[in-house]
Amino acid sequence: MGETSGRGVPGEGLAKGLAVTLRTMTRRSTTQQYPDVAPELPPRSRGVIALLAENCTVCMLCARECPDWCIYIDSHKEEVAVPGAARPRQRNVLDRFDIDFSLCMYCGICVEVCPFDALYWSPEFEYAEYDIKDLLHDKDHLGEWMATVPPPPAHDRNGEPAKEEATAARKAAAPAGSAARPTPARVRPEPGPAARPAPEPPADGTPTDPGAVP
């Protein structure tokens, strides 16, 4: 007696459900006419990963950091003759860059860790296939999606400047600041009087007066 259960008042849930239904019935329905009308995607949508093969140096960082191991890269080395160099240099040439989108979980780690801006997010998402084997896209197909990559957003004027901009501005202002501010001349200190050595105690053990003049 006197104890209440956690189920609430009978009929309370039904009243809340009817209230939601009535509110929804009074609103105007919005239907997206897809695929006839393209949807408006958010600016940071993750559709597919595009590749700019010219920037890839085959550092293998994206393939090593991929948690699903869905990036496959092959390359070979070529010798490049450098004028004035004692011997030709070697560079990596990209032969294969495939991404298996049947394994990709769209985490974006490969795009973030690429140090040479070779991978980009594209909002393109219409690449469904009837066969799962066709979701393995090569570098040519990934390169075609570069045309759909949106331009980077403008920098916020009220935000902090980029690290590269701050470093360049500091280097540009360093010569002007150092020329306008005179360098103080170094003054060599004058040598002080040489300290006299303490008198040695006599051999017979007689105490000596430190204030006595020899």
Cβ-count burial 147-177 (b if 16+ within 10 Å, e if not): eebeeeeeeeeeeeeeeeeeeeeeeeeeeee
Taking every pair of C-alpha atoms in the chain, what is the biggest distance, in angstroms? 119
CA atoms of 121 and 52, how far apart (whole Å):
11
Question: 114 a known binding residue?
Answer: yes
CA atoms of 42 and 30, how far apart (whole Å):
18
Question: 70 a known binding residue?
Answer: no
CA atoms of 136 and 141, how far apart (whole Å):
10
Question: 107 a known binding residue?
Answer: yes
Distances (CA, A) of 209 to 125, 197, 202: 99, 14, 11
Q: Residues annotated as binding site for [4Fe-4S] cluster?
A: 56, 59, 62, 66, 104, 107, 110, 114
Q: Residues annotated as binding site?
A: 56, 59, 62, 66, 104, 107, 110, 114
